[in-house]
Amino acid sequence: MIFDWIFQKVSHDLAIDLGTANTLVAVKGRGIIIREPSLIVRQKKSHQILAVGNEAQKMLGKTPTNLESVRPLHQGVIADFDAATAILTTWIKEVHNPGGVLPQIARPRVIVGIPSGITEVERRAVQEACKVAGARQVWLVEEPMAAAIGSGAPVEEPTGVLIIDIGGGTTEIAAISLSGSVVKKSIRHAGHAIDQAIIQHVRVNRGLLIGEATAEQVKLKIGTADPDKAQKSSKKEAKTMVVRGRELESGLPASMVLDQSEVAEAMAPIINEILVTVQDTIEEVPPELVADILERGIVLAGGGALIPKLDQYIAQETKMPVWVAEDPLTCVVRGCLDLHDRPQLLEKVQMVSGLVN
């Protein structure tokens, strides 16, 4: 009993969105505390961690040969267990015990959002990484369910909710009703795949090598999900952007102007794959739930929801209303945080239970 009292008094409840591109950590009663890249820089031989998150991002592409930049997650799952544990340990300690004054016994309870399409082994890897990082209890919740809860959708009611969560490594699509997924699909093509498509297009068609950060800026500034409208735009309306990189022929620095139509062309294959998956999901949804979705609309969440005109393009192709959730980047972590106050719902939606460590 005394241990339970200590846990309640000095231990914090955490919510974590362990993403391929960024990791968000929220604390009950305080909101989102950490929003940093899922990236570390470490020594190659000793694996000593030198920088995590924003500090590691500043070093990306600039490290000497004895250091390496590592993204612990690939397409939504842990690819490097030690790096993932290092990230989780750093941030759990930072938000839970910043001054080192709390007793070690006061470890946090953690709810983590993970892709719905990962294997049992991959689920256990996430849970184990959190426990090694210092968590007392760990619950795993599917990202589309967490995103739906974070967006304020009525997931517990007998009504249909269709959520599309486009992250960095995966796109999650789920039709939800009565606290469960009626139909769900997950594809490992999302924001990073679009960035790579832009890099490849510029390399092949313009002979210029650009980095991931530049590709992401291009995607958000002049990218569009509707290539037809981009091609029809007049010269005055067409958006352009100057990009800088290394010219492949000479090997020297160079700059070029990209226009919206060619960026849309580069993005089109990935956008269409997401669209086809959405359409396939809708085809499998029971008719009564389709009627609910048609009335309420499709919810877009995740960083991919910020791609210009994506909501309009999906609405046009599916003949259904589409709306972008408020602050789509944080829907998953807000949904996980909300579940700490809704234990009955957590019991229904958890993928792996929060066994006491």
What pLDDT score does 276 carry? 95
Equal CATH topology for 2-146+332-352 and 147-189+271-329: yes
Q: Given this model, what pLDDT does residue 10 score?
A: 46
Q: SS3 for 320?
A: coil
How open is the CA angle 244-69-186, to the nearest 5 degrees? 85
Tokens at residue 303, please? 């960083």
- Choose the CATH number for 2-146+332-352 among 3.20.20.370, 3.30.70.3420, 3.40.50.720, 3.30.420.40: 3.30.420.40
pLDDT recorded at residue 81: 86
- Alpha-carbon distances, residue 16 vs 78, 114, 133, 155, 258 (angstroms): 14, 9, 13, 20, 37
How is the chain split into domains, by residue range? Answer: 2-146+332-352, 147-189+271-329, 191-267
**Average pLDDT per block of 10 residues along the chain, 357 residues long:** 45 85 89 91 91 88 87 82 86 69 64 86 85 88 95 93 93 94 91 94 94 89 78 63 93 92 93 95 94 94 92 94 94 96 93 59
- The SS3 assignment for 104 reads coil
Q: What is the CATH number of domain 147-189+271-329?
A: 3.30.420.40
Beta carbons within 8 Å of 236's beta carbon, 6+ residues apart:
none
pLDDT of residue 354: 58
176-215 in b/e form (b: 16+ CB < 10 A) is: bbebebbbbbbbbbbbbbbbebbbebbeeebebebbeebb
Q: For domain 191-267, give the fold.
A: Actin; Chain A, domain 4 (3.90.640)
- The confidence score (pLDDT) of residue 7 equals 46
Q: What is the pLDDT of residue 231?
A: 57
Find, among 352, 333, 330, the residue nearest to 13 by Cα. Answer: 333
Q: What is the pLDDT of residue 84?
A: 87
Q: Residue 322, SS3?
A: strand
Report the alpha-carbon angle 346-74-247, nearest 5.
145
